[in-house]
């Protein structure tokens, strides 16, 4: 069956146990692929927009109930939770999306078995790391919080891997509603607990609610192939062969996006860390939307295009990237110009320093946005090794830039160093994708050049 048939006839249907049609090699026409991409993009943007409204609304309420110091503690716990969530995936999403066996019951169940085992291992690691984490940050309460938060990895490990087939087929509407429902209930729990306890435990309890909602839904209303423990050697080999680099890349990516929180908190204190994280999260609202599109829409689209020819991939890549950059760069320019006004409008004077941080982070996010439209190509063509190498280089560049910045100019230098990382990484990324003929220097030069003009305008205004 084709991808088009799967999508149009029965989004919830699964291959039968004895079906030989398990290996689903999508060969949708350019028109149907384009329609799927547009439809999927619309659902992703709707879901992301609603999620950010919920997130921002909850954040504004929580800042009235909690002090910046509590937000600093919450950011460390949140960094750990993010790491556990990323590690529990073990690269299964891109693996199932691009693998010809991605919808076979045997393959899906073997992937689920690996995921469950990984969840228990991660929970154990969280308990082991709780003491050194608390010691490094000088915050004894992190011991118990980290141990309890680590249990969410076990819950995430039991999420049905059939949900990843929805991403493969680009049937995203039900996934969007699932994520919004889980996030809404999580925020309600966080706000109620923060009002009652005035404690970092609000975040921990909220994360349990969101993960539990997804667990229940994945095995009931959104179930396809019923999950049970299965260990097929061939499937394990395929998953590990592709996923070994994804696993390393995921670990490196986690460090690249969260290492700054642990480092910054250790020398700037919990109060300044809370302000730092607030500004960073706001600056990433636009980029996170693009990265969401990248993982849920661009990766499947690029994977289908890569099955045809390099020429088709290059032509379509240019059109897709040009549209996305035209949509996502202007909001970042607006944040660069008026970020301090946004902070003054949303938050009280305790968070005033987040204004200049937000503007600097938004300038750095320009390069992140450009990178997000390119990077899925590496996984689409099955080269997870190059993807891993790229992530390792990003981490090295980040460590170097934030270290030099902190030494030269303290907190402001640290923030500027963080923002420069993806700008410095772009030449490396261009080199990594060149063998596939999809590097578009003219398009990227226009994107970077126009952004430099905006940043220069900000410099002149100040």
pLDDT tens readout for residues 438-455 = 788 899 999 999 999 878
Specify the pLDDT at position 23: 36
Structure tokens belonging to residue 134: 């608390």
Residues 367-376: tens digit of each pLDDT: 999 988 888 8
What mean pLDDT value characterizes the chain? 80
For residue 314, what is the enclosing H or E element? helix 310-346
Label residue 6 by pLDDT band (50, 70, 90).
very low
142 phi, psi to nearest 5 deg: -65, -20
**Residue 230 and residue 107: Cα distance in Å, rounded?**
9
Largest Cα–Cα separation, the chain: 68
- For residue 367, what is the DSSP state? H
CA dihedral (320, 325, 331, 337) in degrees, to 10, reads 180
DSSP string, 17-52: TT-S--S------HHHHHHHHHHHHHHHHHHHHHHH
Label residue 24 by pLDDT band (50, 70, 90).
very low
Specify the pLDDT at position 118: 85
Contact 342, 281 (CB under 8 A): no
**Residue 166 and residue 124: Cα distance in Å, rounded?**
30
Give the closest residue to 157 by CA, choosing from 180, 125, 200. 125
Specify the pLDDT at position 454: 79
Query: Where is average pLDDT lowest: 29-43, 164-178, 298-312, 350-364?
Result: 29-43
Structure tokens belonging to residue 330: 């202007």
Does position 37 have pLDDT exceeding 90, yes or no? no
Does position 20 have pLDDT exceeding 50, yes or no? no
Burial class (CB in 10 A: 0-12, 13-18, 19+), 122: buried
103 phi, psi to nearest 5 deg: -120, 10
**Residue 302 and residue 191: Cα distance in Å, rounded?**
40
Q: Average of pLDDT values for 56-71? A: 80
Contact 133, 142 (CB under 8 A): yes
Label residue 123 by pLDDT band (50, 70, 90).
confident
Specify the pLDDT at position 34: 62
Specify the pLDDT at position 307: 65
Identify the three-state secondary structure at position 104. coil
Contact 187, 58 (CB under 8 A): yes
Distance (Å) of CA 270 to CA 64, 74, 236, 255, 266: 17, 9, 43, 19, 8
Give domain limits for the chain: 28-239, 269-462
CB atoms within 10 A of CB 64: 11
First to last CA, the chain: 60
Specify the pLDDT at position 284: 84
Structure tokens belonging to residue 46: 């709707």
Distance (Å) of CA 276 to CA 64, 256, 339, 367: 17, 16, 14, 20
Residues 183-228: tens digit of each pLDDT: 899 989 988 988 888 877 887 888 889 889 989 998 988 888 889 8
**Residue 219 and residue 67: Cα distance in Å, rounded?**
39
**Residue 374 and residue 318: Cα distance in Å, rounded?**
10
- Better-predicted residue by pLDDT, 456 or 362: 362
Identify the three-state secondary structure at position 352. coil
Specify the pLDDT at position 184: 92
Report pTM: 0.64
Q: Compute the residue count for the chain.
A: 462
Label residue 103 by pLDDT band (50, 70, 90).
confident
Specify the pLDDT at position 416: 93
Residues 255-293: tens digit of each pLDDT: 777 778 878 877 777 788 888 888 888 888 888 878 777
Identify the three-state secondary structure at position 222. coil
Maximum mean pLDDT: which of 37-51, 118-132, 237-251, 407-421: 407-421
């Amino acid at each position: 069956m084709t991808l088009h048939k799967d999508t149009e006839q029965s989004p919830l249907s699964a291959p039968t146990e004895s079906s030989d049609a398990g290996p689903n090699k999508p060969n949708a026409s350019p028109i149907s692929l384009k329609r799927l991409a547009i439809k999927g993009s619309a659902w992703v943007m709707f879901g992301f927009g609603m999620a950010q409204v919920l997130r921002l609304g909850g954040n504004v309420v929580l800042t009235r109930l909690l002090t910046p110091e509590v937000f600093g503690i919450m950011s460390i716990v949140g960094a750990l939770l993010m790491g556990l969530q990323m590690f529990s995936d073990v690269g299964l999403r891109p693996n199932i999306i691009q693998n010809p066996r991605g919808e076979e019951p045997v393959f899906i169940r073997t992937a689920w078995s690996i995921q469950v085992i990984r969840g228990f291992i991660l929970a154990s690691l969280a308990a082991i790391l709780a003491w050194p984490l608390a010691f490094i940050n000088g915050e004894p309460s992190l011991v118990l919080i980290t141990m309890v938060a680590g249990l969410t990895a076990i819950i995430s490990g039991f999420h049905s891997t059939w949900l990843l087939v929805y991403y493969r087929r680009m049937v995203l509407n039900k996934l969007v509603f699932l994520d919004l429902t889980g996030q809404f209930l999580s925020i309600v729990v966080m706000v109620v607990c923060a009002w009652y306890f005035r404690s970092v435990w609000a975040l921990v309890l909220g994360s349990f609610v969101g993960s539990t909602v997804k667990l229940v839904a994945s095995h009931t209303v959104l179930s396809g192939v019923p999950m049970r423990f299965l260990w097929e050697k061939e499937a394990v080999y395929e998953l590990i062969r592709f996923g070994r680099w994804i696993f390393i890349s995921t670990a490196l990516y986690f460090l690249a996006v969260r290492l700054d929180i642990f480092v910054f908190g250790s020398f700037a204190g919990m109060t300044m860390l809370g302000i730092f994280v607030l500004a960073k999260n706001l600056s990433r609202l636009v980029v996170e939307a693009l990265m969401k599109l990248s993982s849920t829409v661009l990766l499947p689209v690029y994977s289908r295009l890569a099955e045809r020819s390099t020429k088709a991939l290059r032509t379509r890549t240019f059109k897709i990237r040009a549209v996305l950059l035209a949509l996502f760069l202007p909001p970042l320019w607006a944040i660069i110009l008026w970020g301090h006004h946004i902070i003054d409008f949303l938050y009280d004077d305790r968070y005033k320093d987040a204004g200049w941080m937000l503007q600097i982070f938004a300038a750095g996010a320009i390069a992140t946005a450009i990178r997000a439209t390119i990077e899925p190509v590496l996984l689409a063509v099955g080269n997870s090794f190059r993807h891993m190498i790229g992530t390792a280089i990003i981490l090295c560049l980040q460590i170097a830039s934030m270290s030099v910045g902190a030494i030269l100019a303290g907190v402001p230098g640290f923030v500027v160093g963080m923002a420069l990382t993806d700008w410095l990484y772009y030449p490396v990324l261009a080199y990594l994708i060149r063998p596939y003929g999809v590097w578009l220097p003219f398009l990227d030069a226009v994107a970077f050049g126009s952004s430099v003009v905006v940043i220069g305008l900000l410099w002149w205004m100040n």
